[in-house]
Amino acid sequence: MGRRKFIGVVSCLAVLMACWPGRVSWAQATGLAPTPPMGWNSWDHYRFKISDSLIRAQAQALVDSGMKAAGYEYVVIDGGWEGFHDATGFFRPNILKFPDMKALCDYIHSLGLKVGIHTTPGPVTCSGREGSYGHEDQDAETFAHWGIDFVKYDWCSGGTVYKPDQIQEAYQKMHQALLRTGRPILYSLCEYGMADVWKWAPSVGGNMWRTTGDISDNYLLMDHIGFEQNGLEKYAGPGHWNDPDMLDVGNGGMTEEEYRTQMSLWSILAAPLFASNDLTDMSSEALAILTNREVIAVDQDPSGVQGCQVWEEGPKEIWMKPLADGGKAVGLFNRNEAAMTITLNFKDIGVQAPAKVRDLWQHKDLGTVDGSYSAIVPRHGVVMLKIDK
């Protein structure tokens, strides 16, 4: 038998329910991200191969596919849009690919969506294009003029102009610039979890912050990133969220079971949900995973609690997230190379038997169960449940 570790509902809930200073007041102060932000980002699928027409097509597909109705609202233009700062210091997009950024933003807004953009506190982006260093106020003004609703501030070359102890200063500088525009702009920090960003990100205006390096459409990397989020739950809440990076559902590098694992784990983690596939050419299976309303409801639960691991035995793990209605969302995760039976003991999640059990992927009530529930979980897969008294 593999290593067994009982995490325990008492210790998990003690962390989950502890009042983190500023949690409510920060959400009230910004009015942004009361639940984890949701949307689409161009990076994982397209990298630098983006243009005005491509972004318009993806925005339209976000609506036509039903993803907007399911809660996805931000269309984030990641790296590849940048041109140069002109003689007056204002940022110009690459006009061959983005001839009129304000018109693009107006179009996306006309669909009932919001617009995000990528830049860096350094002099150049990760691909060598111009960044915002020395132009923070002008860039913030430009973004506000265009109608930007979300700024992803990616460290990239920040380390060439800022010392390690100046990271917070760099992010605070853009935060203040965004505030001065008077436009509500969600602020997404992307510095890969350096310097324990979760401990200070809200103090520099962060509504969400990357806790890790870049993800890719690969099970081993997704598995490592997702399951390593345990222990960060006390830093998340309304207005400020841990971000383990994008959803790769539909990009083709993982199985359906593995994509369901990512969607389930990210939802239990109360993580921002940003798809990054081609929305204009999406399989029905990928769409069903991305738009599962019951799983999304776990992520978007108004209590804003990030879930955590409550039980582990070798490759078998159980994660739990308390919900506002008194129920518990539970993921039975199998990280093994073959199917395995996983048993949830209700006492491990603080539920007195008997309890009602519902399968959130099968959309099926499983009845009232006394004491425990067992399921065969596929290789790299998940069974996601809601437990109610």
Domain holding 323, by residue range, is: 4-9+307-388
Yes or no: say if 44 and 216 are a contact pair by the CB < 8 Å rule.
Answer: yes
Q: The whole model's pTM is what?
A: 0.94
Position 117 scores a pLDDT of 98
Residue 142 burial by CB count (10 A; 0-12/13-18/19+): exposed, middle or buried? buried
Predicted local confidence at residue 339, as pLDDT: 98
330's tokens: 């539970």
Q: Are 107 and 55 in contact (CB under 8 A)?
A: no
Mean per-residue pLDDT, 204-218: 97
Q: What dihedral do alpha carbons 243, 246, 248, 251 form, nearest 10°?
A: -170
Q: What CATH number is given to the structural domain containing 352?
A: 2.60.40.1180
CA dist 180 and 277 (Å) reads 34
Domain identity same for 376 and 239: no
Residue that is last in its domain, among 243, 267, 299: 299
| Per-residue pLDDT at 31 | 87
Does residue 61 form part of some domain? yes
Please give the pLDDT value at position 30.
64
Residues 48 and 162 in one domain: yes
**Mean pLDDT confidence for 353-368:** 97
Calpha distance 23→162 (Å, rounded): 29
| Contact indicator for 159, 126 with CB cutoff of 8 Å | no
Q: Is 248 a residue of the active site?
A: no
| Final residue belonging to a domain, choices 250, 279, 299 | 299
Active-site position among 154, 223, 248, 301? 154
Q: What is the signed CA dihedral for 126, 128, 129, 133, rounded to 10 degrees?
A: 70
Measured between alpha carbons, how far is residue 232 from residues 4, 198, 236 in Å? 22, 8, 7
Q: Of 42, 65, 64, whose CA–CA distance to 54 is shortest?
A: 42
| 26 has a pLDDT exceeding 60 | no
Half-sphere exposure of 272 (CA within 13 A, CB side): 34
Q: SS3 sequence, 37-58?
A: CEEEECHHHHCCCCCHHHHHHH
The model's confidence at residue 45, banded by pLDDT at 50, 70 and 90, is: very high
Same domain membership, residue 346 and residue 231: no
Q: Which of 43, 110, 38, 112 is nearest to 72 (CA)?
A: 38
- 33: DSSP letter: -
From 267, 299, 331, the end of a domain falls on 299
The pLDDT of residue 106 is 98
Q: How far is CA 41 from CA 237, 351, 360, in A?
A: 22, 38, 26
Residues 261 and 372 in one domain: no
Q: DSSP letters along 61-81, please?
A: HHHHTTHHHHT--EEEE-TT-
At 128-147, the pLDDT tens digits run 999 999 999 999 999 999 99
Encode pLDDT of 224-271 as tens digits: 999 999 999 999 999 999 999 999 999 999 999 999 999 999 999 999
Question: For 322-356, what is each residue's pLDDT tens digit?
Answer: 999 999 999 999 999 999 999 999 999 999 889 99
What string of DSSP letters covers 152-183? EEE-GGGGGTS-GGGHHHHHHHHHHHHHHHTS
Residue 281 is a catalytic residue: no
Residue range 149-188, pLDDT digits in tens: 999 999 999 999 999 999 999 999 999 999 999 999 999 9
Spatial separation of the C-alpha atoms in residues 362 and 90, rounded to whole Å: 52
Encode pLDDT of 375-384 as tens digits.
999 999 999 9
Strands 241-243 and 273-275: unpaired
147, 278: one domain = yes
What are the tens digits of pLDDT across the range 83-101?
Answer: 999 999 999 999 999 999 9
Q: Tell me, yes or no, whether 278 and 133 share the same domain.
A: yes
Confidence of residue 17 (pLDDT cuts 50, 70, 90): very low
Judge contact between 358 and 327, C-beta under 8 A: no
pLDDT band at 207 (very low <50, low <70, confident <90, very high): very high
137, 214, 278, 359: which is the annotated catalytic residue? Answer: 214
Is residue 14 predicted with pLDDT exceeding 90?
no
| Residue 110 three-state SS | helix
125, 226: one domain = yes
Say if residue 16's pLDDT is above 90: no
CATH at 149 = 3.20.20.70
Read off the pLDDT band of 29 (50, 70, 90): low
Would the pLDDT of 27 be above 90? no
